[in-house]
Each structure stands twice: as structure tokens, then as C-alpha cells.
Homo-oligomer: A and B are copies of this chain.
Amino acid sequence: MDNRDEPRYRQVAKQLRAEITSGDFKPGDPLPTEMALCDEYTISRYTAREALRILAEDGLIERRQGAGTIVADGSAVTFASPTGDFESILQYAREATFVLIDSIEADADTLRDLSLSGRYRKFTGLRRVASQAPVALNTVFVAAAFAPDNKTIDHLAESVSAWIERHHPVRIEEIEQHIDAVVLEKSQAKRLDVPTGTAALRTMRRYRDAAGKVVLLSKSLHPTGRFAYTMTMARKR
């Protein structure tokens, strides 16, 4: 079933998120109180609060001292990243899990098309939040030296770039992002469980280290309604 290594508070957050996005809780509805969550999940208050913190940071809920916790409005469908820090721009919901479909060594033609040189491992998978419909069909090319094994990447609950930085002495210095729109093909739509002909955001990101080497290249297809890209830019002074 679920990854037993995943912290309890993320599991709880995932569950609550599912109940919110599925409509069990609607915008404006009160969420269970912290003590209620403690009882329901048999967890301490700290764990309940960590779960709620995640949802609050993602803008899914609003908390008010003395009053309670309610579902924020307008966030039932999309997963937005309102903050401006490096990781949150790139990620889907914090708990989005990579579900591996396929893993092979990238062939020469593919690499040439992507302007990559060197050896790369190609992972194909879905990004899911809880057991909801996938938010993305994801293809990731990882430089061979940094590639995780299949067991590691499957059910990875963070970004691949974050995993690489934690496990290898490399630092991503720059990300180039390219976004356009496409209409999904039949096979893609099937994997994502949407009708053929649905529109999707297509993103391609190149993650480079200080030397300009592409450590990671990620291509994603996000069907409309499951994902939208949000960011805030502040003016430089």
C-alpha cells in the first residue's frame, strides 16, 4: 500500500488533501479540529499540526486562532505554488509521488533531440497526489552519474532534483523552464485518465550545475484542471 517510510504527518496531509479535493470538504467548510484529528488518526497534536501546516502552506486551508480551520476557497481543483522559493516553484503539491512506469537508458537520437550529451537514464512515470487521478505524466532524464535506481525513484515523494542534491555532491544553480500547450494524444490521455483531446500544459525544464552541465531534464504533461502554474514575482529594488 503506502510507503511505510513516509512520515505520518505527510500521510495525514495526503489523506486530508484527498478529502478536500474530492469534495468531501468544500470551500468554507470547517476542517476537523486538531484534537479531533489526534483522535481520528491516533496521533499526537504535533503530528496533526505538521499535517495542517503543509495544507496551510499550500493554500488549501485557512487557520484562525480561536476560530478553527476552514477549507480555503478556489483551491479545490488546482495545485498552486504561491511562494517564491526555489523548490516550491518547481514542484507540484508537496506530497506528489512519482509512480514509475518505465526506466531505460536514453538512446542517442533522443539525446540529440534534447541537445544532451553524455549518458542519461530516462524514467517515465506519473505524478500522483494520494491515490487521486495523476497530476502529470512525467519523463525525466537524469545524468547517469546521478541516476537513482528504479526502486528509489518509484514512489519518490519529492522532486527528483531535490533527491539528487541530497544524495550527490552536486548543486543545481540554474533552471531553464519552457512551457507551452498541447492537446493530448490518445496514449497520453489514457495514462492520465482524461478524455483524448484534453488540453495540457507541457513543461520542459533543464537543471544545470555551475558548469552548465544538464544534471536533469524533466518533461511533464499536466492536464487542464488538475494542475495550473502559479507564481508571484516581486519587483526588484
A residues near B (Cβ < 8 Å) are 57, 59, 64, 76-80, 84-86, 89, 166, 171-183, 197-202, 222, 224, 227-236
Contact = CB atoms under 8 A, between A and B. Distances in A.
Contact of A235 (B86, B178, B198): B86
A229 B172 contact: no
A229 B178 contact: yes
A148 B214 CA distance: 45
A197 B30 CA distance: 41
Contacts of A199: 181-183, 199-200
A175 B81 CA distance: 11
24 contacts: A59-B85, A59-B86, A77-B84, A77-B85, A78-B84, A85-B236, A86-B233, A89-B233, A172-B235, A173-B236, A174-B232, A174-B234, A177-B230, A177-B233, A180-B224, A180-B227, A180-B228, A181-B182, A181-B201, A181-B202, A182-B224, A183-B183, A183-B199, A197-B197
A178 B197 CA distance: 22
Given A57-B85, A175-B232, 9 more contacts: A79-B233, A84-B236, A174-B232, A174-B233, A178-B230, A179-B228, A180-B201, A182-B199, A183-B198
Contacts of A79: 84, 231, 233
A169 to B, nearest CB: 12
Given A166-B64, A181-B199, A183-B183, A175 B86 contact: no
Nearest to A80: B178
Contacts of A89: 233
